Structure 1
Amino acid sequence: MSKMMPRVSLLLLCLLLATGPALARDCAWDPDVDPDQALDPVSLASGLLQGQNNTVEGSDPRLCREACCQTAGCDLALLGFPMDGLPQCMLVQCVRQGRDMCVYRPSTQFKIYRKKVPTDAETKNQEGGEELRVVPLVVLGETNQTDTIRCRLPMKVGSCRAAFPRFYYDVTNQSCRGFTYGGCDANQNHFESREECEASCSGVTGSVLPDESTPAPDLPPKARRLAPFDSMSDKGVESEADPEAKKTEKAADDFAERCGAEPDGGNCRAAFKHWYYNSKTGSCQTFLYGGCQGNKNNYFTEKECIAACTVKVLPSSKKDAADEVFAEYRDSCMVTSDPGPCRAAFTMFYYDASTSSCQMFTYGGCRGNNNRYGSAEECLSRCSDASFDAHGNPRKHLTTGEFLLR
């Protein structure tokens, strides 16, 4: 390897001399960008490196930075250290049509060096005299119609076959749920954490929209330096496990689904070591999980599997259709209003079963319950024509005129 380094350094030096010193004079590096990072896969999913012949072998960070300085359009020098070959210097153009497409993750296998974004005075276009303004890919704290549409999109795994833990907003149940993201072709309903999902979407109501309702995704807030690079491993994922798996008692039908099903690797082609409960031997065993789909007898760790399946099994208690209808109505229309623990102030409506009317309340922005609606009309539509009174007893169906007279 050491014999090849002079040739590699000479190759980089030739690149620098060929492009000339003009570009290097204005090259400055952003001190706020931590070099111990790599590009997040979601950056690559946006086509960031497609069609670019931008990889040069070399292990010297200084030469890699200089190569970026001497290359028009290079915004970031990415130095990788593969286990099966020489280090590689990759020159990346982050800014596309005024938008910064580069998203980072902490890493021990890469180094990044980001050019400092010039000020307005420094960004005059030499040919047309126009200013180049870099528009952030994500505008934090901005709430508009696009955000509402984003939260009503369906969950989308994507066509790639990796396995990244992510969250999406389920507008039907008005809650944030986990899912496994394949690594590309995401839509905007896609968040790094449950907290980001709740901050962006809590309180959004409506029906699920077609996936084509918005363009390709704006990347999730806080993605730059917060998520661990090794997100495809089991590390840190156990805390996001399904809370249903942690109950000490399970109904027979639930136990059969979570602990009695045969292991299912799913349709994707990754190879992750997961655990399933073997009901025949009464023990947890390993299997290879492909990264998507499969069934619920699927756990990240042996500890989680044991906790989920060494429980007291209760007799099956499936409800009949009438019980399920009442339970849904009760949760959506009979419980009292709940502002939740967060401290925002959103005007929402809840159904007051004691007065058979919809009342206004202030919602804090997260959690709460299902008796929460974005408008009085939506509240009335859901609860005013129900078949149960405030005590859960069946009642006659009221006409619109009868309801308004009450």
Structure 2
Amino acid sequence: MAGTRYEEVGSSKKGGGNNCCLKFWLAFFILATLALTGVVLWLVLAPKHADSSNTQTTDKTRALQTASGKSQPGLCSLPPAQGPCKANIERYYYDTTSGKCKKFVYGGCSGNNNNFITIQQCMETCSLPLVPSKPEYCLLEMDHGPCFALLLRYAYDKKLDQCVEFTFGGCGGNKNNFETLEECEKNCKISIPIPSTSVKFDTLDAICELPQDTGPCKGFYRRWSFDVSTGTCVEFIYGGCKGNANNFQSKEACAAKCGVLSGVKSETVVSPVGGVGENAVCYLPRERGNCEAYQQKWGYDPELGQCVQFIYGGCNGNANNFETKDACERRCLASLSTPLLSTTLDAIDDVCKLPQDAGPCRASQRRWAFDTSKAKCTQFVYGGCRGNANNFESKEALNQPELGASSKSGSIDTLVCHLPQDRGNCYALIRRWAFDANSSQCIPFVYGGCGGNANNFDTREACEQRCLANIPMARPATSSDALDPVCKLPQEVGPCRAMWKRWYYDVAKEQCVEFVYGGCRGNANNFESKEDCEARCGANAMANSFSSVCFLPKSTGPCRGRIKRFFFDSEAGKCAEFIYGGCMGNANNFFTMEECVSTCTNMVYDKRS
């Protein structure tokens, strides 16, 4: 019994020893875990604390740099540095390649000074003065949100640098969402403070002496720079990154900073760098967007050169998106259509330069007006009241060969067809046709898509219809060739109802005759006095002009005919035969030798004697 109890007691002690050992290892494991957790927490939290004084110092330094308003090129060109610590802190650095401030993850200690708490602080320190900061929400992407309403809203598009329409679903989204265009521009549009006093040229800011620099990027932003050579602010196209500080949002900001030289005419000069400036939106592809709505919209097609309809999904897309065809054409066609050169416009009566105006009434009367952008008469619907004087009952009443008081060329078609072939400023590859006055034929050329001039036709047929029908044929000289072309024009009262006493030259009577002028249009055979008329068209003027015909050089003209004609050779002092091509040329061109001799020989020798 005693032995048995001993064994039981011994057995009980042995089991208690095992329990004690288990408790020891369990306690050790818990303590080790707590210690390891403490080390990890210290590694994470201690660098923030340890670096706080360094961060405060750095932030103060950056604040001083920002307050000074000067970029720190050395600091801003440093690469982003995470540092050796393991925190996960969102910071910003300046990227010299893109010219923008970007996010990076900062470890919490060391690194370098190209490290900013906010994007504004980064931009203020490193960006050029011409790029003030925007609120961060303006840089957010447009967000339709998860709901399915179709609410018209506005958002800032950082790629286009402008506020654009988009469709908001009604919930969610982000802060880049404004109810009106004005609210969007007020919050997100870059504004440049204008100094209160202009800088005089003799103390010109160094910024103003920098050369114009578009930068390496491919954006299309209208900007202004100061041109030292002209002493004026001129417009140019900025690519969107880098460049230099001689770059202003407006002409006023440029003038306020750099001044304008006294005595130098200030004028707008558009630098043709890049191409289309503010109308870059017209060259964006038409985009349906990410949503599934079915909205009919209009976009500009640069290949067709016109606005076309497309289906818009209701969100995203881009700014080449218009509610109506009219809105699209006002934005894109008004500035991208081929303009007439000033020489053409100078030949058009002021009445013909007036815009087409239907007036406020609601009638539907078919009328005609002269369209300066197309250099031809176009039909429109007149409301029946008001409007303006560029309003004619028939095409014939408007489309006269002489428009206004201009001189050298008979008609607008002739002027258009003699304009040089002009590709324009843009870089599209559009096949067009132009009239070549040297070969008297229509030839193909590649049009860039904007700018250029009116000698630009969609088809060969359109070119030939416009230009070949209007090639002036040089006829043999007669006594009437002594007259100034203006003097041969018929008497023209014009469509207006004034009663002005004027004089015109009557070819049949060979004298100046009085007539009543209506006050508008008419033609250049219109003089305020008889003396003015006779000075231009009278006998003395005719004699001088006639003898000058004989001194014109021989001209075969651009056409390819082989017509026997005669001209007066002023160097040899006699008439000679030549081959005439059949069109154009000049008035020193006679059917017969006798006609040439009788016209020129006596007059020329009288003039020489």
User: Aligning the two structures, in what range does the TM-score lie when normalised by the shorter sequence?
Assistant: 0.3 to 0.5
Higher relative contact order (CA 8 A, sep 6+): 1
TM-score by length of 2: 0.24
Q: Which of 1 and 2 has greater Rg? A: 2
